Amino acid sequence: MAQWATMVKLFDLTRTMAAEMAEEIPAESFDVPNGNANSPKWIVGHLALGMDFGLMLLGSPTEELEAMMPIYGPGSKGGAIGDDGRSQADLIAHLRNAGDLLRAKVIEADEETLMQPQQTPFLAEQLPTVGDILGHVFTTHIAMHMGQLSQIRREMGLSSWYQI
C-alpha cells in the first residue's frame, strides 16, 4: 500500500490548494460562471461531493450525498447554482471536513476493500475497483477541477493558484 502513502500526500496538497484558491474568490463572484463554464460554487460543491462519494465507496455514506448529487453531481446542469442553502464558507468547510474523513478512511482501508469492484456507473469501465476510483478522487479529479478554478482566478485578475 506504499502508493497510497504518496496519494494521501498528493490529496492533502491538492485539496488544501483547492480550498485556498476558492477562499480568495470574492463572494459576489463565487456563483458567477464565465460563459458556459461552471461557477466556482459548482466546482467547490462538486469537489466536496467527490469526497462524500469516496466515503460512500468505503461504506461511510454522508447525509449530504443524496441532497447534493442532483446539484453538484456528474450530469448536473452546472453553471450558476443559486441559493441552495450552501454558502461559500459552508462548501469550503465541507470540502475540508469530508476530505479529512475520506483521508482517514483510506488510510484505514485494507487491500481487500480497495480491490473490490466499484458498484457505481461512474467510470466503471476505466476504474473498475474501489481503489481505482478513489485514486481518481485523490488525484486526477481534484487536479482537473483545480485547473478550472485557476482559469477563473486568472480571469478575475487573481494569481492562477494559491501557493502554500
What per-residue confidence (pLDDT) applies to 87? Answer: 96
User: What is the three-state SS of the chain?
Assistant: CHHHHHHHHHHHHHHHHHHHHHHCCCHHHCCCCCCCCCCHHHHHHHHHHHHHHHHHHCCCCCCHHHHHHHHHCCCCCCCCCCCCCCCHHHHHHHHHHHHHHHHHHHHHCCHHHHCCECCCCCCCCCCCEHHHHHHHHHCHHHHHHHHHHHHHHHHCCCCCCCCC
Domain boundaries, the chain: 2-20+36-155
Nearest to 116 by CA among 58, 55, 73: 58
Range 2-20+36-155: architecture per CATH: Up-down Bundle (1.20)
Q: How far apart are CA 18 and CA 48, in angstroms?
A: 11
pLDDT, position 17: 92
Q: What is the pLDDT of residue 128?
A: 96
In the predicted model, residues of the chain with pLDDT beneath 70 are: 1, 162-164
Entry pTM: 0.93
Is residue 53 within 8 Å of 137, Cβ to Cβ?
Answer: yes
**What pLDDT is recorded for position 62?**
85
- Separation of alpha carbons 150 and 159, rounded Å: 8
The three cell numbers locating residue 39 = 461557477
Integer CA distances (angstroms), 48 to 101, 102, 159, in order: 12, 11, 23
Closest CA to 133 of 109, 154, 114: 114
Q: What is the pLDDT of residue 161?
A: 72
d(CA 103, CA 110): 13
Return the C-alpha cell found at 126.
Answer: 476505466
